[in-house]
Amino acid sequence: MKSLRLTLLTLVLLSLSAVAFAQSDAQKSFDKLKTLAGSWQAYVTLDPPQPKMGDGTLMRLSLRVTSRGNALVHEMHEAEKPDDPSHYDHPLTMLYLDSDHLFLTHYCDAGNRPRMVARTSGDGKTVEFDFVDIAGGTEYGHMHHAVFTFVDANHHIEDWTYMMPGDKPVHAHFDLQRTK
């Protein structure tokens, strides 16, 4: 009887430590992403090339920690266009912890809100977000995947995959340099 209780207690403790490890993994990834707070710029490259979607355009990105450190706001817009989201593309993405997972919700100019969940690379240099679900219509396509790669304090890479109507992926690559 004692050995059964000891075995059950050991299993419960192992389960709890696995949950704690997962939470710390999500928290570590979120904390690392928050170090990107600031202003960034990069020329976007699209694969396959999409001239009408701004291939080769200089983009400005800002990342800001908000809500007492519980959320990270990611905004992007074309450098040459006025910062006027009512007339120009200006997608906004929120990154946040929910329980033991790191989530991203992308408020897209296509009028929808895809949600993605993070997984971290073994070396901690990459946080990859996989599609979970979407709110809103997909007639104009939707954001489907995102990868943040940390190079150094003033340099990071973002790769985003947009699914065009008919599930045709367009990959956007940003090799970002800090401006502030």
Spatial CA neighbour of 50 closest among 165, 171, 146:
171
Q: Write out pLDDT tens, residues 150-170.
A: 999 999 999 999 999 999 999
Residues contacting 122, CB < 8 A, separation 6+: none
Strand, coil or helix: what is 48? coil
Q: What percent of the chain has pLDDT over 90?
A: 69
Residue 122 domain boundaries: 2-178
Q: How far is residue 103's CA from residue 117's CA, in Å, rounded to a whole number? A: 5
Q: How far is residue 44's CA from residue 169's CA, in Å, rounded to a whole number? A: 16
First to last CA, the chain: 64
Please report, for the domain that includes residue 138, its CATH number.
2.40.128.20
Dump the DSSP string for 120-172.
E-TTSSEEEEEEEEEES--TT-EEEEEEEEEEETTEEEEEEEEEETTTEEEEE
The domain total for the chain is 1
Q: What's the pLDDT band for 123 if we cut at 50, 70, 90?
A: confident
The pTM (predicted TM-score) of the whole model is: 0.83
Q: Write out pLDDT tens, residues 27-72.
A: 999 999 999 999 999 999 999 988 777 788 999 999 999 999 999 9
